[in-house]
Amino acid sequence: MRRRIVAGNWKMNGSKDLVNSLVGQVRSEVASLDNGVEAVIIPPALFVSDVVRLAGGEIAVGIQNIACWDSGAYTGEVSAGMARDSGCDYALVGHSERRQLFGETDQQVAVKVGRALASGLNAVICVGETLEEREAGRAEEVVSAQVRRSVAEVGGDQWHQVVVAYEPVWAIGTGKTATAEDAQAMHAAIRAVLSALGAPADEISLLYGGSVKADNAAALFAQPDIDGGLIGGASLSAADFVSICRAVPGRS
């Protein structure tokens, strides 16, 4: 059975005050949901320990990026092992902002995925095409290649720690969302790629991200291959984030 996950990526936003006001509220409201959703908060790394403490094990916590290395002279970097040690369950890897602004390559993403899994973290591998690539009819080709290269180091028994998030770059922070049908088609394509690689594709959770809000989440999450969402802006409001968590359909 696939996990139903709603993860809030705060990006470089938030403060101690936001941590203190939001986490407790999300925790108590998510606890009252009966749809089996796993809520994850992914704050800036400095706030991870505070979020872990306030989440009390009822909300999972993630880190937005990890290093390609385990330890050593890499000033400014944080390793997967450190994130795990601090109470993280998840690591985002290969977010499009890291690919575009920091030049992260599929090869680096693959190494980071390997580090995350070896440290006991679940890796949320982010993939997605640009508007130019979509308009050129290349979206599926681009995303499929990203998936294949990003999972190059995943071993046979590690697939249960892998989550893939499809985030079309043109939908991130723009208010434009893929239609539920287009998102479903891409998720089905990603599942087919995973299956062709020999992964237990039916057990791998696939998330949609890109301008997910309380009013469009239900239609997206109702799609057969969309198992939840990766939420940016709307995750900075407890009420909006909880509404999106609530939009996950219950299991019949």
Q: Based on CB atoms, which residue is closest to ligand 13P, 81 or 104?
A: 104
If binding means CB under 6 A, how many residues of this protein chain bind ligand 13P? 14
Q: Does 228 bind ligand 13P (CB under 6 A)?
A: no
How do strand 122-127 and strand 162-166 relate by DSSP bridges? parallel
Q: Does 233 bind ligand 13P (CB under 6 A)?
A: yes
Considering only residues 149 through 188, tell me which ones interact with ligand 13P, judged by CB under 6 A. 167, 172-173
Q: In this chain, which stretch among 55-63, 135-143, 220-228, 231-239 interacts with ligand 13P, using CB under 6 A? A: 231-239
Q: Does 217 bind ligand 13P (CB under 6 A)?
A: no
Determine whether 95 is an active site residue. yes
Q: Based on CB atoms, which residue is closest to ligand 13P, 81 or 228?
A: 228
Neighbour-count burial for 174-210, b at 16+ CB within 10 Å, e otherwise: eeebbebeebbbbbebbbebbeeeebebeebbbbbbb
Q: How far is the CB of 175 from ligand 13P (least distance, A)?
A: 8
The 8-class DSSP code of residue 237 comes to: S
**Given the residues 38, 129, 167, 187, the one annotated as active site:** 167
Quick one: which of 212, 132, 217, 225 has its CA closest to 176? Answer: 212
Determine whether 153 is an active site residue. no
Q: In this chain, which stretch among 52-60, 138-146, 181-189, 204-212 interacts with ligand 13P, using CB under 6 A? A: 204-212
Helices (H), the chain: 16-31, 48-55, 80-85, 96-102, 106-118, 131-135, 139-150, 180-196, 217-221, 238-246
Per the CB < 8 A criterion, the answer to whether 248 and 208 are in contact is: no
DSSP assignment string, 51-119:
HHHHHTTTSEEEES---SSSSSS-TT---HHHHHHTT--EEEES-HHHHHHH---HHHHHHHHHHHHHT
Interaction pattern, residues 92-131, with ligand 13P; x per rule: CB under 6 A: ---x------------------------------------
Q: Does 211 bind ligand 13P (CB under 6 A)?
A: yes
**Given the residues 38, 95, 104, 129, the one annotated as active site:** 95
Q: In this chain, which stretch among 65-73, 79-87, 229-237, 243-251 interacts with ligand 13P, using CB under 6 A? A: 229-237
Residue nearest to ligand 13P (CB): 232
Considering only residues 42 through 101, tell me which ones interact with ligand 13P, judged by CB under 6 A. 95
Q: Does 9 bind ligand 13P (CB under 6 A)?
A: yes
Q: Long-range contacts: 68-73, Cβ < 8 Å, 24+?
A: 68/108, 68/111, 68/112, 68/115, 69/115, 70/115
| Residues of the shown chain interacting with ligand 13P in the complex, contacts defined by CB under 6 A | 9, 95, 167, 172-173, 209-212, 230-234
Q: Which residues are catalytic?
A: 95, 167
